Amino acid sequence: MGFVWFWIVAVMIAAYVVLDGFDLGVGILSAFLARAEDDRRTLIRSIGPVWDGNEVWLLAGGGTLYFAFPLLYASSFSGFYLPLMIVLWLLICRGASIELRMHTDHEVWRTFFDGLFFLSSALLAIFFGAALANVIRGVPLGADEYFFLPLWTNWRVGAQPGILDWYTVIGGVVALVALATHGALWLVLKAPGELEDRARRAASVLWIVLLLVTLISLPATIAVRPSALDNYRAHPILFLIPALVVAMLIGILSFTRQRKPLAAFLSSSLYLVFMLVGAAVGLYPTLLPSSTDPGRDITIAKALAGPHSLHVGIVWWSFGLALALIYFITSYRLFRGKVTAESGYGH
């Protein structure tokens, strides 16, 4: 049961990263790719009907985490109090800027909301990357299974780290670059004309940076958490996952060059998935490692909810997720193809 729920939560987080990832990426790129008002509207329209649904994966994933591993939810959410609250504020600013920009005709307000959209998207990407890196690095769990982390201490990875240290900053940068690339590939798929060309050029440049930071992040992870390799050593077949990460990176580049935008976008989606799966394999069966004493790690066994809830949960979760997939396929099919001028609403 614990194994199943571990992977259910991991899949939901991966779905969130892949789906909200491209609209965060569009936000990051909006400051660089959009030159005229038309471009900006096209960017927003390319994510208009779907970004809100993408964000639901964060809520649904969070809810599922709460339900399956209450102790993990309680400990990590209160321990990461400050960064989570900042994430909430950023999500509020971002949602508001997307919606409110559509409803104003004034240059000043539009510029303001565009700036907010860019800034909140970029910071969210960095925070999400840093959050994952925090989980991999571990936190100073107390005997009562709680902890509290300040935003930063001395930027070193020690027994009493802050949310931000050199390792988690690398995590943030990887996420920023990966989601920007992902967003660029989405725009190649959705944007018409010159904007599409600009997005393709951006994707090529970002790809080189992404390759670099990915290659830096792998040894950094092993340096910070040597035990991340335990599962890999026990089952060498798992080394396929990092190999697939590299394969997907190559896929992004070659499909972009061959003008196969859908294949390139799917490669980048799978790149994100395999990065996350690789991290999850490194952690399993730990959910939140302790930076001080491995005996205090929050493991699946410690955090798992009662058996009855989980059995009932499997039933409704499978049913509910099947429904959600139908909605998503319907929606993405209906809005497939390039963005057109009159596909907005409001003004």
Partner 1 sequence: MNALLLDRIHFAFTVTYHYLFPQLTMGLALLMVVMKLIALRTSDGRWNQAARFWARIFAINFLLGVVTGIPMEFQFGTNWSEFSRLTGGVIGQPLAMEGIFAFFLESTFLGLFLFGEKRLTRLQHLGAAAMVWVGSWISGFFIIVTDAWMQHPLAYHVLENGTYEVASFWKFMLNPWAWIQYAHNMCGAVVTASFVVAATGAFYLLEKRHEEFGRLFLRLGVIAGLISCVIQIFPTGDLHGRYVARYQPAAIAGMEGLFQTRKGAPIVLIGQPDERTQQIDNPLAVNDVLSFLIYGTTHAEVKGLDAFPPDQWPSALPLLYYSYHIMAGLGTWFLLLMAVAAVLLWRGKLYSTRWILWPILLSFPLPYIANTAGWMTTEIGRQPWLVYGLIRTSQGYSAHVSAGNALFTLLGFLGLYSVLSILWIVIVYRFILTGPATSADALPGPGTPTLTTA
Least distance from partner 1 to the Cβ atom of residue 306, Å: 3
| Residue 103 or 259 having the CB closest to partner 1 | 103
Which residues have a Cβ under 8 Å from the Cβ of 257 and sit 6 or more positions away? none
Question: By the criterion CB under 8 A, which residues form the site for partner 1?
Answer: 48-50, 52-53, 55-56, 58-64, 66-71, 73-79, 81-82, 84-85, 88-89, 91-93, 95-96, 99-100, 103-104, 146-148, 305-306, 308-309, 312-313, 316-317, 320-321, 323-324, 327-328, 330-331, 334-335, 341-347
Is residue 171 within 8 Å of 186, Cβ to Cβ? no
CB of 37 to partner 1, least distance (A): 14
Least distance in angstroms from the C-beta of 95 to partner 1: 4
| CA neighbor of 288 nearest in space, from 160, 158, 139, 168 | 139
Closer to partner 1 by CB, 162 or 313: give it: 313
Residue among 208 and 312 whose Cβ is closer to partner 1: 312
Residue labelled with tokens 């340096």? 223
The residues, any chain, with a CB within 8 Å of residue 186's CB and separated by 6 or more, are 22, 23, 25, 26, 46, 47, 265
DSSP 105: -
What is the C-alpha separation between 25 and 156, in angstroms, rounded?
29
**Distance from C-alpha of 193 to C-alpha of 89, rounded to nearest angstrom:** 35
Nearer to partner 1, 295 or 306 (CB): 306
CA–CA gap between residue 188 and residue 198 (Å, rounded):
8
CA distances for 252 relative to 186, 188, 197, 258, angstroms:
12, 12, 16, 10
Closest to partner 1 by CB, 244 or 339: 339
CB of 273 to partner 1, least distance (A): 20
Nearer to partner 1, 49 or 242 (CB): 49
Closest CA to 245 of 205, 287, 217: 217
Task: Output the smallest distance, CB 310 to partner 1, in A.
Answer: 9
- Residue 283 in tokens: 């952690």
Compare residues 151 and 208 and give the one whose CB is closer to partner 1.
151
b/e per residue, 96-133, with b = 16+ CB within 10 A? ebbeebbeeeeeeebeebbebbbbbbbbbbbbbbbbbb
Q: In the bound complex, what is the minimum distance in angstroms from residue 156's beta carbon to partner 1? A: 22
> Smaller CB distance to partner 1: residue 83 or 278?
83
- Closer by beta carbon to partner 1, 7 or else 67: 67
Residue 56 CB, nearest approach to partner 1 (Å):
4
Specify which residues 164 forms β-bridges with: 152
- Provide, rounded to whole angstroms, the least separation between the CB of residue 297 and partner 1: 17
Kindly state the smallest distance separating residue 94's Cβ from partner 1, in Å: 8
In a 3-state reduction of DSSP, which class is residue 181?
Answer: helix
Q: In this structure, what DSSP letter does residue 140 have?
A: -
Say how far apart CA 246 and CA 233 lie, in whole Å. 19
Q: Which is nearer to partner 1, 72 or 122 (CB)?
A: 72
Burial (CB count within 10 angstroms: exposed 0-12, middle 13-18, buried 19+), residue 151 = exposed
- DSSP SS3 for 171: helix
Cβ 197 to partner 1, closest distance in Å? 25
| Alpha-carbon gap, residue 136 to 168, rounded angstroms | 9
